[in-house]
Structures are given as structure tokens and as C-alpha cells.
Structure 1
């Protein structure tokens, strides 16, 4: 069985069983290792990706369910919000082991792309489904706050 969809702006075709999960196709067939397998039960957020501009867990969606859709992984996110997040997370040393950061990055990118100047309450709420086993939450929150400030300072958000 062959399934076609778009990943990070490129058309791809995977030969996996349609009942296989998206994370397995991304990692094993397409070599995109940024999306991480954490729990397999939508409880940790390590596998978060964007599908047609909506946040999804790649561990629980079947490959056949993304036929003809657009998937964006941590490797494919670009632009001012992505640049600000990458720089802020690195500067803050936000992840100790870093295993959770790809899912956190995708989740934070989704929030910052949809919501101008989100409050820390909104940031915490958005990230509440992302688990960091190292306990680096405060550094991660500081980094997201710094990224918001960077996007605002660079004019990335319209004045409202």
C-alpha cells in the first residue's frame, strides 16, 4: 500500500501499512528523527506535529488518515516565530536532555503563530500537555516568554 501526503512542503510517498502510525512513517521511512516517541498515548506531547495547520499527536494518528494532507514537523517549521523560539530555547538552555523539546517547540510555535502576544497563563495552558521529565519547565517558560518578546520587538505581530 502506498500513501501520499506532504511533509514540510514536499510531496512524499510511504509504503507502510495504512494502519501504521504517522510517527513510525516519519522516523523510519522518511528519516525525520525530530518527532520523538514518548508514551504512545497522547500524554507527553513529544510527538507533536502540525497537520493541515492543526496540532496533532503523531503517535496516535494512522498514516492513512494523513493521505493528501500537509504535515509539518519540527524540522520544517520556519519563519520569525520559529527563529525566535530556536534562539530563545538555546539561549535559556531550556532542555536538559532535550527529548521533549521538539514537541514543546511545535506546540509553542502553534500558539505563537495563532495568538498575538499570549499571556503566560495561555503559554502554560498550551504547554500543559507536554511532559518534560527533566523538570526544565521554568527554563522552557522563560524561553517562550523571550521568544514572544523577540517576535514583538521585530514587528512580527501587528500592532493591535
Structure 2
């Protein structure tokens, strides 16, 4: 994202705040970066993996993993979910980031055999969040496998 677009986002957020804010109930916005991807604001430059959790199926085979990502400069968290392999075009991979303070969730879905999903960011300074992965091998209505990281 260009510098001009960042400034425009900050001005838009400040205008909304002056007008009383316009956010859905239960979905507080703490930063103009809420709901945006880390690459849009350069937050991946100092990204850190806070927690890493492997997702196993019922027979102990690893299906993928989820990382709880964090940027110190941006004070944001996001989820990176990775599928070890996609067995079909109906394979669906979800990456969730959940902010505990207000239960706001951002999610990314990758279908058609994709192996990496990155959720949008949530502001996380002085708050806690966790990341979650869900894999649905049938893409809509099969058995889902899910796990989550610890809170950070």
C-alpha cells in the first residue's frame, strides 16, 4: 500500500471516530489496520511466529499447521494456515485470527487445492488473540479438522 493510501486510511478512520464510529455491534475497530492484510501495510517486514500448532486428523496424520503471526511495529496479529497437501479441488483451508477483547474474528478461505491462507490483521497491543486452522477435505459438508494456538 502506498504512503498516500495509508494516510487516506488514517484520515478515514479518524473521521469515523469523530462521527461516533461505524462498526458492526461487537466488532470494535482499534486501528485502521483491522481487517487489512499484513502486506498492505508492510507489517510482514518484522513478522514473528508467536505460536505454531500442527493439525492432525483422527489417525495421527498431519494435515497442516497454523501460525499466530505478530508485528511489533504494527501491533497487529494475524493467522497463517498451511495445508500439508491438498488432495482434491474441493479441499478447503481456513485461517482465523480471534481477538479475545471483543471476539472480533477475521478469516481467509482458500479453496480448490490451495495450500496457504493468511487472515486479515487485528490490532493486538495490550490484548490477547489466538489463531485457528480448519481444513474441510470435502469443501462444504465433510468432516472438518480444526485446532488453535494458545492465546498471546
The answer, yes or no, to whether TM exceeds 0.5 is: no
Q: TM-score, normalised by structure 2?
A: 0.26
Identify, as 1 or 2, the structure richer in strand.
2
Q: TM-score, normalised by structure 1?
A: 0.25
Structure with max Cα Rg: 2
